[in-house]
Amino acid sequence: MAFVIALAGKGGTGKTTISGILIRYLIERGLKPVLAVDADPNSCLNEVLGVNVHTTVGRLREESLSVVRGGYERPGGMSIEELFDYKIQQSIIESNGFDLLVMGRPEGPGCYCAANNIIRKYTDKLSLQYPFVVIDNEAGLEHLSRRTTNKVDILIIVSDSTIKGLKTVKRIRELINELELDIKEQIILINRFKDMKDVDKVTYISDFHIYGFIPDDEILLKNDIDGKSIFMLNRESPAIKVAYEIFESIFRDKKLK
C-alpha cells in the first residue's frame, strides 16, 4: 500500500505549487514512481508538472453514462464497471518519475460528488501500484466534507500568514475531527512568507504548531510567469531550498524506501 500525502488549504496559498515541489522532491530522492492525483475540479497540477491532460475522470464519467443511457454496445461485452476501469487506466498520464490522474469538471449538470467518489475509489485501487501518492485537493473544505481524502498518512495544510488563512487552517482541523477522518499526521506550512522577522508574530496568533515557513520567491514567480514546469525551477530557488529542508525533516523518521 502506498504512503499517501494529501494537501489542503484555501485558494491562493500556492498549495498546487507545493504539491509539485513535493512530487519533484520524492522523485529526486528516488522514491518513484509517484501517483499524482489532481482532485481539484479547477485542475492545474498538470501545468505545474509540465504535462498535457488528454482526459479527466469527470469527462470519463459523462462518457460512460452516455453509453448506458444511449443503450450503446460496450466493447467486448464489458460491464459498465469493467468499461470504466478500462477507461480510468487509459486516462492516466504517464511521465518521467510520476503518473497523473485528473478529476476535472464533469461535462454534464450536477455536483462533483460522483466524481469525488470515483477519485477516492481509484486512488485507493491504484495506490497498490505506487510507493507514494500525492493528492492535490480542492481549495477550501469540500474535499473533506465529501470524504474525497481517505486514509491519509500525512495531510499538509498550506496557508499564508494572513488571519483569514490561519482561520481556514483552524476550520480544516476542526472538520477533520468532526468527520473522524483517517489521517495519521497533520502538518501546517506557511507559504509565500515575506519576512522571517514575523515568524514569532504568526506563531503567537495561531493556536496550533506551524511546522515550517516557505519564503516568497521571485525565482519561482518568474518560473510560473514563463510557463515552466516545477522540474525546470532553478535549485537556487529559496522556495525549493526551504521546502526540501522541510520535507527532509518530515520524512527523516519515516524510514522511506
So where are the chain's domains?
A: 3-251
Kindly state the percentage of the chain with pLDDT values over 70: 77
Note the pLDDT of residue 161: 87
Question: Can you read off the three cell numbers belonging to residue 63?
Answer: 462518457
What pLDDT band is residue 16 in, cutting at 50, 70 and 90?
very high
Percentage of the chain beyond pLDDT 90 is 42
Distance (Å, whole) CA 22 – CA 158? 13
CA distance 82 to 139: 32
Q: For domain 3-251, is the CATH number 3.30.230.10?
A: no
Give the C-alpha separation, 160 to 169, whole Å: 10
From the list 159, 129, 157, 133, the residue with the least C-alpha distance to 143 is 157
Look at residue 100 in the predicted model and tell me its pLDDT: 95
Question: Can you tell me the mean pLDDT for 208-225?
Answer: 92
Instruction: Say what the pLDDT of residue 52 is.
Output: 92
Per-residue model confidence (pLDDT) at position 66: 65
Which strand (E) or helix (H) includes residue 187?
Answer: strand 183-193
- Rounded mean pLDDT, 6-20: 91
- Residue bearing the bigger pLDDT, 145 or 87: 87
Place of cell 500525512: 154
Helices and strands of the chain, counted as H and E runs: 10, 8
> Could you give the angle at which helices 238-251 and 218-225 cross, rounded to 10 degrees?
110
| pLDDT tens string 96-151 | 999 999 887 654 554 555 555 666 677 777 778 899 999 998 866 566 655 555 67
How many residues are recorded in the chain? 257
98, 127 Cβ separation under 8 angstroms: no
Q: 30-34 — which CB contacts under 8 Å span 24+ positions? A: 31/131, 31/132, 31/256, 31/257, 32/97, 32/98, 32/131, 32/132, 33/97, 33/98, 33/99, 33/130, 33/131, 34/97, 34/98, 34/99, 34/130, 34/131, 34/132, 34/133, 34/134
The pLDDT, as a whole number, for residue 22 is: 98
**What pLDDT does 163 receive?**
85
Average of per-residue pLDDT values in the chain: 82
The predicted pLDDT at position 217 comes to 95
- Structure confidence at residue 87 (pLDDT): 75
Q: Which of 49-63, 66-80, 205-219 has the lowest mean pLDDT?
A: 66-80
Confidence at residue 155, expressed as pLDDT on a 0 to 100 scale: 93
